[in-house]
């Protein structure tokens, strides 16, 4: 070996692609971030179910057993059903002019109210009283006073009653549950009868209360009306107010209207009409007279005719004056009218006899008309003063009259409402009717054995799955390729199945067709793609803790490469608990670390061709001190001069400084993880320690895997159907020119 070969500081081998078979460059010092916990996806859940199948099956069995026990311990319960029909009332109760049956919102409110009343404690208590359940020990018990047993019976009925509110329609269904089928049907029917009777009684009581209230109000209003009428009559008598037409005005009637309806008002109106007629006659007489005078006729005043006209004018004035006080049908008025008519007839006869007295007659008529007009004007002026005085006295009369009208209107309204309440209270039909009565149930509805078994099975399955997932999360180990990639960030180069057969591990390595040998062959093939030049010439194999298959993997990979014709050296660098021992205990790595012997002097042959072993040698007291010297790097460099590949079996990482020191020298590292045993956090801490030393991770190797899925599904095909394939290949004909 060239003693002048320069080594890097601390015995680290030079990073050349020719020696190490990997790219040259600094190794990242970033700490590896590890995903903690279990990501629950379908594949993970299937794996958990397979791994914890016995726990899940046990939980399901316990759930089924619990369902059977619950069924056996549960008291049989019987249920009886009753169907009621709700018919909202059609008469107008609230006086709003609407029919409740035509209002869907009021209908649903009425149905909801009936559902609430059906579940009320009052109905339950009435049922207990109607059925005399106080004397039934099964319902009310056998101890306590009558009130206590009644409360117990009421609670039993309320607790066993279940009402189903209708989602559509007007049918209400309810049931009663009891351990006794006969009692269940009896109480269910009793609740229906008590509910209907209670409704009728409530309607009667409510209408009776309304009637009593209205009777009190009507009596009070009647008294107020009589009092106001007396006050109005007294005031009219005291003030001498006489109204015509026999009725008062409305509520808004003014004092002028009251004056117009009085006797003075009527007289003034009659005199105004007579004055208008007299004025018209005067105007006509004046016109006729002036026309006759202008025509040149000589007025021949006839004394007898003139006196007759004056007498008639006086009678007409007297008639008009008395017309304000007497009716036209009065005998005195009739007599005056007869005398006036008689005088008129006499004047007419005399006028007809004497044509010459035409002008005088016209003059007399004119003067009579003027006198009558003046007399009426005086009478009208006097009545105007009386009417104005009456108007002032009629203000208080109007106030009293309006009070009488208000009391009379209120009295009439109360009488009308009293009649309506009387009609509503007299309705004897109930808005609730029974459609289907309860019948004695033929069998219990609880316990339901199939349902309890199904529920127990479901709960057991959920409990088993929950327990399995919880335990799996608590264990948090690396179990498959996905865990290695997701949790540790390492590429899984191979998954070595757990040996299921008895025998020596060496026998599996000797048999190229064994599953273990095939698995390591696959891992060795994957190592060829970890660097640009193929499999690295120098690499170390380590693990988190001992007994994870680290040494077996190092031996298997070395044997696999040696079987391909490469000269391979397996170095046992575990100076504390070596896995390989040679026949000659005076040779080994510890000897080389303490002297300058050549490597070939300490190499021991193995039972495999092209595979040599550098054993540990005698156990030193200070392994870490020996591995930290530059001599360890020199030994590996000399070994690379004689062998095509050097595989270093390293001690585990946790708790020791040996593995980081070896990783600092070898640089290429294969990390071994035992499936289902290596915890994620421990493996992460080991990787961080190794990465801090500058190691280059080639990947991970999963050992003792129990999963048969994935890449190892082809073994059953390759070896299970090999005979059949050979038979089919043998059937292929051979051509002569082949």
In the sheet that holds 604-605, the strands lie side by side as: 492-497, 696-705, 668-674, 538-543, 645-649, 568-572, 611-614, 604-605
269 in any annotated domain: yes
Dist CA 661 CA 669 (whole Å): 12
Q: What's the number of domains the chain is made of?
A: 3
- Predicted pLDDT at 58: 92
- Do residues 361 and 455 share a domain? no
pLDDT computed for residue 425 by the predictor = 52
Q: Are residues 705 and 694 in the same domain?
A: yes
457 and 582 share a domain?
Answer: no
| Residue-range definition of the domain harbouring residue 65 | 42-74+447-473
Average pLDDT (165-175) is 85
Answer yes or no: are the C-beta atoms of 499 and 707 closer than 8 Å: no
**pLDDT at 294 (0 to 100):** 65
- 402 and 518 together in one domain: no
Q: Quote the pLDDT of residue 301.
A: 44
Looking at the fold, whether 294 and 408 belong to one and the same domain comes out as yes
Dihedral of the alpha carbons of 593, 598, 602, 603, in degrees to the nearest 10: 120
**In-domain check, residue 690:** yes
Separation of alpha carbons 333 and 319, rounded Å: 7
Contact 626, 575 (CB under 8 A): yes
Residue whose pair of structure tokens reads 């059925």 in the numeric block: 131
Structure token pair of residue 66: 């619990």
What pLDDT does residue 382 have? 66
Residue 411 is assigned to a structural domain of this protein: yes
pLDDT for 726 equals 43
pLDDT classification of 732: cutoffs 50, 70, 90? very low
Structure tokens at 296: 């040149």
Token pair for residue 21? 């078979």
Question: Is 720 exposed, middle or buried, given 0-12, 13-18 or 19+ CB atoms closer than 10 A?
Answer: exposed
Listed in sequence order, the residues at least 6 apart from 393 whose beta carbon sits closer than 8 Å to its beta carbon are: 239, 241
Tens digits of residue pLDDT in 643-692: 999 999 999 998 788 889 999 999 899 999 998 888 888 888 989 989 88
Q: Which of 23-37, 130-144, 617-631 has the lowest mean pLDDT?
A: 23-37
Closest Cα partner for 498 from 230, 264, 286, 702? 702
Phi, psi of 544, deg, nearest 5: -70, -50
> How far is it, in rounded angstroms, from Cα 107 to Cα 165?
13
- Residue 226 pLDDT grade (very low, low, confident, very high; cuts 50, 70, 90): confident
Give a yes or no: residue 703 inside a domain: yes
- What does the pLDDT read at residue 156? 87
Q: Are 283 and 342 in contact (CB under 8 A)?
A: no
Q: What pLDDT score was predicted for residue 675?
A: 86
Whether the CB-CB separation of 179 and 187 falls below 8 Å is answered with no
Which of these ranges, 7-21, 74-88, 256-270, 339-353, has the smallest mean pLDDT?
Answer: 7-21
Cβ atoms within 10 A of the Cβ of 688, count?
Answer: 15
Mean pLDDT over the full length of the chain: 76
d(CA 515, CA 519): 6
Q: Which of 161, 172, 167, 165 is nearest to 119 (CA)?
A: 161
Q: What pLDDT digit, counting tens, does each position of 194-216 carry? A: 888 887 777 766 666 677 777 77
Cα–Cα distance for residue pair 263/390, rounded to 1 Å: 10
d(CA 516, CA 508): 6
Which of 337-341, 378-382, 499-503, 706-710 ranks highest by mean pLDDT? 337-341
pLDDT (mean) for 445-464? 87
404 and 267 share one domain: yes
Mean pLDDT within 29-43 = 56
Q: Strand ranges (DSSP E) for 445-528?
A: 492-497
What one-character DSSP code corresponds to residue 94? S
Do residues 414 and 492 both lie within one domain? Answer: no
- Compute the distance between CA of residue 638 and CA of residue 601 in angstroms, rounded to an integer: 12
Q: Is 27 inside a domain boundary?
A: no
More confident call, 61 vs 169: 61
Maximal C-alpha separation, the chain: 198
Q: Are residues 531 and 655 in the same domain?
A: yes
Q: Does 395 share its domain with 457? A: no
| 522-560: pLDDT as tens digits | 888 999 888 888 889 999 999 988 888 889 999 999 999
Span 577-601, pLDDT tens digits? 898 877 777 888 998 998 988 999 9
Reported as a pLDDT band with limits 50, 70 and 90, residue 244 is low
Can you tell me the distance from the alpha carbon of 180 to that of 75, in angstroms, rounded to the nearest whole number?
11
Same-domain pairing of 407 and 491: no
Inter-residue contact 453 to 232 (CB < 8 Å): no
Q: What DSSP string runs through 516-540?
A: HHHHHHHHHHHHTTSSTTSS-SEEE
Q: Does 310 lie in the same domain as 271?
A: yes
CB under 8 Å, gap of 24 or more: what pairs does 530-536 form?
A: 530/22, 530/493, 530/698, 530/699, 531/17, 531/21, 531/22, 531/23, 532/17, 532/21, 532/22, 532/23, 533/17, 533/21, 533/22, 534/21, 535/21, 535/561, 535/645, 536/20, 536/21, 536/22, 536/668, 536/698
CB under 8 Å to 52, separation ≥6 — which residues?
Answer: 464, 467, 468, 471, 472
Higher-scoring residue by pLDDT: 290, 600: 600
Task: Tell me whether residue 540 is in a domain.
Answer: yes
Same domain, 700 and 654: yes
How much is the pLDDT for 105? 75
Question: How far apart, in Å, do the first and last CA atoms of the chain sit?
Answer: 54
Q: Is residue 629 part of a domain?
A: yes
Q: Is residue 600 part of a domain?
A: yes
Q: How far is CA 367 from CA 292, 306, 337, 444, in A?
A: 15, 10, 20, 122
Highest mean pLDDT pick, 2-6, 50-54, 381-385, 457-461: 457-461
Stated pTM of the model: 0.48
Q: Domain holding 558: CATH number?
A: 3.40.50.300
């Amino acid at each position: 070996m060239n003693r002048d070969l320069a080594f890097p500081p601390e015995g680290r081998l030079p990073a050349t692609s020719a020696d190490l078979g990997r790219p040259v460059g600094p190794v990242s010092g970033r700490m590896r971030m590890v995903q903690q916990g279990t990501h629950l996806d379908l594949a993970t859940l299937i794996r958990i179910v397979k791994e914890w199948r016995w726990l899940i099956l046990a939980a399901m069995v316990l759930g089924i057993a619990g369902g059977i026990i619950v069924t056996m311990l549960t008291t049989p319960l019987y249920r009886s059903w009753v169907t009621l029909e709700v018919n909202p009332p059609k008469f107008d109760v609230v006086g709003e002019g609407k029919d409740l049956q035509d209002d869907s919102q009021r209908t649903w409110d009425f149905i909801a109210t009936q559902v609430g009343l059906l579940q009320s404690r009052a109905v339950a208590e009435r049922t207990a009283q109607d059925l005399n359940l106080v004397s039934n020990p099964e319902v009310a018990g056998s101890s306590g006073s009558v009130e206590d047993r009644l409360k117990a019976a009421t609670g039993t009925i309320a607790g066993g009653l279940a009402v189903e509110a209708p989602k559509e329609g007007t049918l209400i269904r309810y049931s009663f549950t009891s351990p006794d089928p006969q009692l269940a049907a009896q109480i269910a029917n009793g609740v229906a009868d008590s509910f209907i009777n209670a409704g009728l009684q409530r309607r009667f009581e409510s209408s009776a209360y309304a009637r009593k209230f209205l009777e009190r109000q009507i009596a009070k209003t009647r008294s107020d009306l009589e009092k106001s009428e007396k006050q109005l009559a007294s005031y009219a008598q005291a003030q001498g107010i006489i109204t015509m037409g026999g009725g008062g005005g409305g509520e808004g009637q003014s004092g002028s209207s009251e004056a117009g309806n009085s006797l003075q008002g009527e007289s003034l109106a009659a005199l105004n009409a007579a004055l208008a007629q007299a004025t018209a006659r005067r105007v006509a007489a004046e016109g006729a007279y002036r026309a006759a005078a202008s025509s040149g006729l000589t007025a021949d005043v006839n004394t007898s005719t003139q006196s007759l006209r004056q007498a008639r004018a006086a009678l007409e004035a007297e008639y008009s004056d008395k017309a304000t006080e007497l009716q036209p049908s009065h005998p005195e008025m009739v007599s005056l009218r007869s005398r006036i008519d008689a005088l008129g007839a006499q004047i007419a006869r005399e006028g007809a006899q004497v044509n010459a007295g035409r002008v005088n007659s016209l003059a007399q008529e004119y003067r009579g008309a003027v006198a009558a007009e003046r007399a009426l004007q005086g009478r009208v002026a006097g009545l105007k003063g009386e009417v104005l005085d009456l108007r002032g006295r009629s203000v208080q009369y109007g106030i009293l009259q309006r009070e009488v009208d208000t009391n009379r209107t209120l009295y009439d309204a109360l009488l009308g409402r009293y009649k309506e309440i009387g009609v509503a209270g007299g309705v004897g039909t109930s808005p609730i009717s029974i459609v289907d009565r309860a019948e004695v149930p033929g069998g219990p509805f609880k316990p339901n054995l199939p349902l309890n078994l199904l529920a127990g099975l479901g709960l057991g399955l959920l409990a088993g799955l929950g327990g399995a997932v919880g335990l799996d999360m608590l264990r948090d180990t690396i179990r498959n390729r996905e865990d290695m990639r997701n949790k540790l960030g390492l590429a899984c180069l191979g998954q070595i199945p757990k040996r299921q057969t008895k025998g020596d591990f060496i026998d599996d390595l000797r048999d190229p067709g064994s599953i273990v040998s095939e698995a390591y062959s696959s891992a060795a093939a994957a190592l060829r793609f970890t660097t640009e030049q193929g499999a690295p010439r120098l690499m170390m194999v380590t693990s988190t803790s001992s007994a994870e298959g680290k040494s077996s993997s190092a031996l298997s990979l070395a044997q696999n490469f040696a079987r391909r014709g490469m000269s391979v050296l397996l170095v046992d660098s575990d100076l504390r608990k070596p896995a390989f021992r040679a026949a000659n205990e005076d040779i080994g790595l510890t000897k080389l670390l303490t002297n300058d012997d050549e490597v070939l002097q300490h190499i021991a042959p193995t039972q495999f061709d092209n595979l040599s072993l550098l054993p540990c040698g005698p156990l030193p007291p200070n392994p870490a001190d020996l591995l930290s010297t530059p001599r360890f790097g020199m030994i590996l460099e000399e070994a690379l001069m004689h062998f095509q590949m050097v595989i270093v079996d390293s001690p585990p990482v946790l708790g020791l400084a040996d593995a980081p020191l070896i990783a600092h020298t070898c640089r290429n590292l294969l990390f071994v993880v035992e499936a289902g045993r290596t915890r994620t956090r421990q493996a992460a801490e080991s990787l961080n320690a190794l990465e801090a030393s500058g190691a280059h991770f080639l990947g991970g190797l999963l050992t003792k895997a129990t999963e048969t899925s994935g890449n190892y599904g082809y073994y059953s095909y390759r070896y299970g159907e090999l005979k059949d394939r050979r038979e089919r290949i043998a059937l292929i004909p051979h051509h002569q020119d082949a």
